[in-house]
Structure 1
Amino acid sequence: MLNKWLFQRVDNSSLIVFRIIFGILITAEAWGAIFTGWIRRTLIEPQFTFNFIGFDFLQPLPGNWMYVYYGVMGFFGVLVTIGYKYKWSISGYTLMWTCVYLMQKSSYNNHYYLLILILVFMLLVPANTYASVDAKLNPKLKQISMPRWVVLFIVFQLWIVYTYASVAKLYPDWLSGEVPAMLMKNKKNYWLVGEILQQSWAHYVILYFGILFDLLIVPLLLYRKTRLPMFCLAIFFHLFNSYVFRIGIFPYLSLAFCLFFFSAELVHRRFLPKKPFYDKEEVIVPEHRNLLIGIFCFWFPFQILMPLRHWVIKGDVLWTEEGHRMSWRMMLRSKSGTASYKIVNKTTGEVNYVKKGDYLSRKQIRQASTKPDVIWQFSQRLKEMYAEKGEEVEIYVNARVSVNHKDRKQLIDPNVNMAEAKWDYFFHNDWILLHEDED
């Protein structure tokens, strides 16, 4: 039964078309970062980047070499599009994208993490077996079918992402319309929709539409009678996000996912009419069956449990940020604040306050004032800088932070020497103040 469910052959038109669109989009993502100035602002101009904790060895290449890095990555995207040396090209892009994701979090976006997951998916699937240079050079590679697990994998993964994104919005500040109003506040000058987005009724439309769309998109795309109207809503939703939030390729990638929900016959007829259509009922169990099932048994429990980890960490994740990343908590809050870093030089006896602008970009300053993990990392960098001069220091941080424009509160215990503080990935860090008794 399991073999039939996973390994029954189905037409592969949706995967082939998705590969071509996906290749174009990841090429645009890589080369677009060069021409929009993202690489310069994020990876070249800053003195250092705030990498994911534990990945300090991943640092941007010196000088202008990150332009070359992204140029090569975009070239891999072109090879994915045309299906040439596919396994090597998708592996190269996956590795390079993952390294950039881990080496900086100043421009963190949940969609960047989603792209890693989809790249791994594309690495596993036979996406180059038709309409590819590989299949043309090696006719034995050509196939018009694929195992059914390909469709099941992507559908289940998307259901996890959208469901968590919906559930995360079920908290007071979103349900009151406060967060949608904040998100729209700086969109007033947008052509055509700017004034509309400032209306309270529009905030409530965004509020409920955001929750319901994320919750229902996958089930209603799976149901034949609601598939077309839901796809039309998806077009509106993702184009709206593209225009209002300027989030790069991801609205278009989300629309491309819909290929896996429509019938294979329709995708074949619309996009690959010259390709033979596969309509047999055949089950082919691959030699690596057990390895694939092992991957699934690790992958999906991880995807389900990872976004839940903040529930077992003490404190409100909106405040502490502990368990926030890789949990599909998208556009849920606004944080602002100020932080001062006091350096007590134990070697010379001097006491100084850090001028953050001497070390950090404007965006990094905002994060080093509101995000506990970045505050900890900046403190460790300062400690290292003084250690290189043979000096030992204590570092005390006075950070007052507001979440969703509420009253500012002390984020970091000002009596804790952050130079000696430890970072705990799995449990609450006690130097982050909670204020639970005050709420």
Structure 2
Amino acid sequence: MLNKWFFKHIDNSALIVFRIIFGGLCFLETVGAIFTGWIKRTLVEPRFTFNFIGFEWLQPLPGDGMYYYYAIMGVLGLLIMVGYKYRLSMICFTLMWTASYLMQKSSYNNHYYLLILISSLMVFLPANTYASVDAKLNPKLKSNSMPQWCRIVIILQLFIVYTYASIAKLYPDWLDATAMETLMSGKRNYLLIGKLLQQKGVQYFLAYGGILFDGLIVPLLLYKPTRKYAFAASIVFHLFNSIVFQIGIFPYLSLAFTLFFFPSEVIQKIFLKKKPHYDASEIVVPHYKPIFLVIFFIYFIIQIGLPLRHHFIASDVLWTEEGHRLSWRMMLRTKRARTTYWIENKANGKRLKMNLRDHLTRKQVRTASAKPDVIWQFSQYLKSHYKSSGMDIGVYVDCQVSVNGKAYQTLVNPDIDIANQPWEVFKHSPWLLPAK
């Protein structure tokens, strides 16, 4: 039964077409980062970046280095699209994108993390066995089929992402549309739809529509009688996200995933008309079966477990953000902050109020004002900065935060020297105060 489930061969049209679209979108994402000024704002202008904690050794290249870095990723995207040196190109793109993701958090986006996961999975998928330069150069590589596990891993990964995204929305501010109201308040000047998005009825529709879409889209796409309706809903949902939230390639990548839900005959007839359709349903058990099964289960146990870790930390993840990252908690709330950093000279006890713009860009100031992990990192930076000039300091932070437009509350204990606190990975940091 297990062999039939994982190793039965099916037509590979969906994977081939997905590779072409995926490579093209990777090209657009990386080249777009150059021409929209994203690289300049995020990786060139800052004096330093807020790395993921533990990856401080990953630093942006000096000068114009990051422009060349992203240009190389754009070329790799094109190589993936045409299927030339596919495996090597996919590995290089995955490593470079992952490094870029880990070296900064000011432009954090859950979808960037999703691209890491999908890229990592694509490394192992035989996506270059048809309509590729590799297959033309090496005819022995050419194939019209793939093991069924290639489809399963993509669908299961999507199911995890969407399910957790739906569950995360089941909290009071989302259910009474307060969160949606604050999210849409910044869209009031949008042409044609700006005023519509301020209507409470529309906000309720979007709030509950988001819960239902995320929770049901994968099952509805898998079920043949509802597949076409679910696909139509996907088009509307993702185009709406693209227009309103402007999140790059990811709405279109999400639409590309629907290829794996339609019958392979349909995909082949629409996109690969010259390709023979495979329907032999052979079961080919590879020699790597034991290793594959171990890796498969470990990977998905991690994917299921990571978003649950905040339940084991004695704090409210919505407030402290402990366990927030890598958990598919996407566009759940808005946060505003009024934050002041004080530097205390330990030699004489004198305090100095910091001007954050002396060290940070405008975007980094917003991040260092509201996000606890970045507040801690900036405190460590200040301590190191002053130590280099011979001054031993403490860093005290007065941080008032408003979630979803509600009253400001104190997030950080202003009496604790943050610069001399350890970072807690798996438990609550005592310098973070609970919300009332």
Partner of 1:98: 98
Amino acid at match of 1:346: K
Partner of 2:306: 306
Partner of 1:208: 208
Shift of 1:347: 4.0
TM-score (structure 2 length as normaliser):
0.99
| Aligned ranges 1:24-35 → 2 under 5 Å | 24-35=24-35
Amino acid at match of 1:138: N
Partner of 2:364: 364
Partner of 2:379: 379
Partner of 2:416: 416
* Superposition misfits of 4+ residues, deviation over 3 angstroms: 347-350
CA–CA distance in structure 1, aligned partners of residues 245 and 18 of structure 2: 24
Partner of 2:265: 265
Partner of 2:89: 89
Partner of 1:7: 7
Range with greater deviation from structure 2 (128-137 or 411-420)? 411-420
1:338 is paired with a residue whose SS is: strand
1:296 is paired with a residue whose SS is: helix
Partner of 1:140: 140
Amino acid at match of 1:245: F
Cα distance per residue 1:165-187 (max 9 Å; x no partner)? 01111100000111111111121
Amino acid at match of 2:178: E
Partner of 1:192: 192
CA–CA distance in structure 1, aligned partners of residues 336 and 303 of structure 2: 30
CA–CA distance in structure 1, aligned partners of residues 306 and 408 of structure 2: 30
Partner of 2:18: 18
CA–CA distance in structure 1, aligned partners of residues 219 and 349 of structure 2: 64
CA–CA distance in structure 2, aligned partners of residues 171 and 345 of structure 1: 43
CA–CA distance in structure 2, aligned partners of residues 398 and 177 of structure 1: 30
CA–CA distance in structure 2, aligned partners of residues 205 and 290 of structure 1: 47
1:283 aligned to 2:283? Answer: yes
Range with greater deviation from structure 2 (128-137 or 278-287)? 278-287
Amino acid at match of 2:420: E
Shift of 1:39: 0.2
CA–CA distance in structure 2, aligned partners of residues 187 and 84 of structure 1: 42
- Percent pairwise identity: 59
Amino acid at match of 2:173: D
Partner of 2:120: 120
Q: Structure 1: where are the runs of 5+ without partners? A: none
Shift of 1:287: 1.8
Shift of 1:281: 2.2
CA–CA distance in structure 1, aligned partners of residues 189 and 385 of structure 2: 43
1:433 aligned to 2:424? Answer: no
Cα distance per residue 1:66-123 (max 9 Å; x no partner)? 0000000110000000000001101111000000110001000000000001001110
Partner of 2:329: 329
CA–CA distance in structure 1, aligned partners of residues 26 and 359 of structure 2: 32
Amino acid at match of 1:173: D
Shift of 1:390: 2.0
Q: Structure 2: where are the runs of 5+ without partners? A: none
CA–CA distance in structure 1, aligned partners of residues 119 and 196 of structure 2: 37
Amino acid at match of 1:405: G
1:407 aligned to 2:419? Answer: no
1:69 is paired with a residue whose SS is: helix
1:343 is paired with a residue whose SS is: strand
| Aligned ranges 1:44-193 → 2 under 5 Å | 44-193=44-193
Cα distance per residue 1:353-388 (max 9 Å; x no partner)? 111010011111111111111110000000000111
Amino acid at match of 2:330: M
Range with greater deviation from structure 2 (248-257 or 349-358)? 349-358
Range with greater deviation from structure 2 (398-407 or 31-40)? 398-407
Shift of 1:348: 5.9
Amino acid at match of 1:92: C
CA–CA distance in structure 2, aligned partners of residues 26 and 120 of structure 1: 13
TM-score (structure 1 length as normaliser):
0.98
Range with greater deviation from structure 2 (185-194 or 6-15)? 185-194
CA–CA distance in structure 1, aligned partners of residues 313 and 44 of structure 2: 35
CA–CA distance in structure 2, aligned partners of residues 184 and 408 of structure 1: 20
